């Protein structure tokens, strides 16, 4: 039997976790929810945990999910929306398709845990505007994590009014818990394992050596790989490893679902020739579909908007790739033109989103990852 949320937290403290009052507040609410579910109560409010990167939101959600004896599904938000879109397509032409999706979920589970909620796609905003409410109506307990409070979801997005019913449903049916404590738990020391290198301009890259060291004597190929409906060019691939350049993985027209598929197929991913993601000299392209666009919200009035760059679409895809690898425990090996803390400018258009990427790449330099 797995420990309760509060017991798991106490055990973690005994193993050396740093005590965090903001985290403890969230754990106590998860414990209350756990006890209510274990007692078979109805009308249980969900939980919305939000705060900056590294505050342990995913860790706490995982311990909560593991403690439950009632039917539960835990998914990354990307994966859940991929499933929702697929089911809605399959139900095309039928009456109340969202209601049918909610009925399917209610028949399968009591609790739905969604990690890393963010919304940047008008299609997702339109679906969620009603889906959350019908899930609550069917008695499903939602537990969500996000970097943003509910009122800042999809901030500045096109037709944001379509999402407002979902935001109101969250606030009416969930306890919103701010985990903005001072401790970034991802940066606690651990045994180091380098997975990020800077390539000097005049030196030969080391990715071939890294690939060979992990792959051993397994056969490999440089043949393109079919990903969804696209053909992905690459440097090398074997049964367990994929090696691509940054341009092949992040400047090609891929999106979050493609990175999900890659993590389904490979145990580790290598990315070489990663540039400094700061180039403001070329025209700004349209936003890449299915990737994150979450610059920090600013007050209205006279202000200078963050600088956009022609590289921003590639950066969005890079963020989606790192998110997927992190969530799935797939190590990401990177060789870049600059040090990790110089990859993306602090005043760039996507700087707020990239804070999470930076934190996750830092954690990937520890042996415990993957």
Q: Are residues 334 and 253 in the same domain?
A: yes
Closest by alpha carbon to 144, among 165, 115, 177?
115
Enter the pTM of the model. Answer: 0.67
pLDDT in tens, 314-344: 999 999 999 999 888 899 999 999 999 999 9
Count of other CB atoms within 10 angstroms of residue 275: 16
Q: Which residue has the tokens 């651990």?
A: 190
Give CA–CA dist 28/49, Å, rounded. 12
291, 256 contact by CB (below 8 A): yes
pLDDT score of 299: 46
Give CA–CA dist 363/322, Å, rounded. 11
Q: Are residues 121 and 198 in the same domain?
A: no
Give CA–CA dist 327/168, Å, rounded. 28
Question: Pick from 117, 147, 178: which residue ends a domain?
Answer: 178
pLDDT score of 65: 95
Question: Pick from 109, 143, 178: which residue ends a domain?
Answer: 178
pLDDT score of 355: 87
Closest by alpha carbon to 234, among 272, 192, 183, 278?
272
53, 360 contact by CB (below 8 A): yes
pLDDT score of 353: 83
Q: Are residues 173 and 193 in the same domain?
A: no
- Residue 370, domain member (yes or no): no
Task: Note down the domain range covering 107.
Answer: 5-178
pLDDT score of 294: 47
Q: Which residue has the tokens 């109506």?
A: 137
Length of the chain: 370
Give CA–CA dist 88/90, Å, rounded. 5
Q: Are residues 173 and 298 in the same domain?
A: no
Question: Pick from 123, 154, 178: which residue ends a domain?
Answer: 178
Query: Which residue numbers in the chain have pLDDT < 50?
Result: 281-283, 289, 293-305
Give CA–CA dist 197/274, Å, rounded. 10
345, 275 contact by CB (below 8 A): no
352, 295 contact by CB (below 8 A): yes
pLDDT score of 289: 47
Per the structure block, which two tokens stand in for 333?
A: 């090996």
Closest by alpha carbon to 173, among 129, 136, 148?
136
Euclidean distance between the first and the last CA atom of the chain, given in angstroms as a whole number: 25
Residue ranges with strand state E in 107-181: 111-115, 141-146, 174-178
- Residue 220, domain member (yes or no): yes
189, 157 contact by CB (below 8 A): no
Q: Are residues 218 and 160 in the same domain?
A: no
Q: Are residues 149 and 19 in the same domain?
A: yes
pLDDT, the chain, mean: 87
- Give the CATH number of the domain where residue 69 resides: 3.40.50.300
Count of domains forming the chain = 2
pLDDT score of 298: 42
């Amino acid at each position: 039997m797995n420990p309760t949320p509060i017991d798991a937290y106490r055990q973690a403290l005994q193993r050396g976790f740093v005590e965090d009052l903001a985290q403890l507040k969230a754990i106590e609410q998860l414990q209350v929810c756990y006890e209510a579910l274990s007692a078979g109560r109805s009308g249980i409010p969900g939980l919305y945990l939000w705060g900056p990167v590294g505050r342990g939101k995913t860790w706490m959600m995982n311990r909560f999910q593991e403690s439950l004896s009632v039917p539960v599904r835990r998914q990354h938000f990307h994966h859940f929306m991929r499933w929702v879109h697929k089911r809605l397509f399959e139900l095309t032409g039928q009456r109340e398709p969202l209601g049918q999706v909610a009925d399917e979920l209610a028949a399968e589970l009591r609790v739905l845990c969604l990690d890393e909620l963010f919304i940047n796609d008008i299609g997702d905003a339109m679906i969620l505007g009603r889906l959350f409410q019908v899930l609550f109506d069917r008695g499903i307990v939602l537990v969500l994590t996000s970097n943003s409070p509910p009122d800042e979801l999809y901030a500045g997005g096109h037709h944001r009014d379509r999402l407002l019913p979902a935001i109101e449903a969250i606030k009416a049916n969930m306890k919103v818990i701010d985990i903005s404590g001072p401790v970034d738990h991802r940066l606690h020391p651990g045994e180091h394992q380098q997975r990020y290198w800077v390539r000097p301009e005049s030196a030969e890259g080391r990715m071939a050596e890294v690939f060979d060291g992990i792959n051993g004597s397994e056969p490999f190929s440089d043949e393109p790989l079919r990903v969804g409906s696209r053909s992905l060019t690459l440097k090398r691939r074997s049964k367990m490893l994929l090696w691509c350049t940054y341009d092949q993985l992040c400047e090609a027209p891929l999106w979050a679902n493609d990175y999900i598929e890659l993590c389904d197929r490979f145990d580790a991913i290598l990315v070489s020739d990663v540039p400094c993601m700061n180039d403001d000299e070329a025209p700004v392209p349209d936003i890449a579909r299915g990737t994150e666009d979450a610059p920090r919200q600013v007050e209205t009035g006279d202000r200078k908007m963050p600088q956009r760059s022609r590289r921003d679409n590639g950066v969005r895809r890079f963020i989606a790739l790192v998110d997927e690898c992190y969530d799935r425990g797939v190590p990401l090996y990177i060789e870049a033109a600059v040090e990790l803390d110089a990859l993306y400018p602090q005043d760039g258009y996507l700087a707020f989103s990239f804070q999470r990427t930076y934190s996750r790449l830092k954690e990937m330099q520890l042996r415990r990852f993957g």
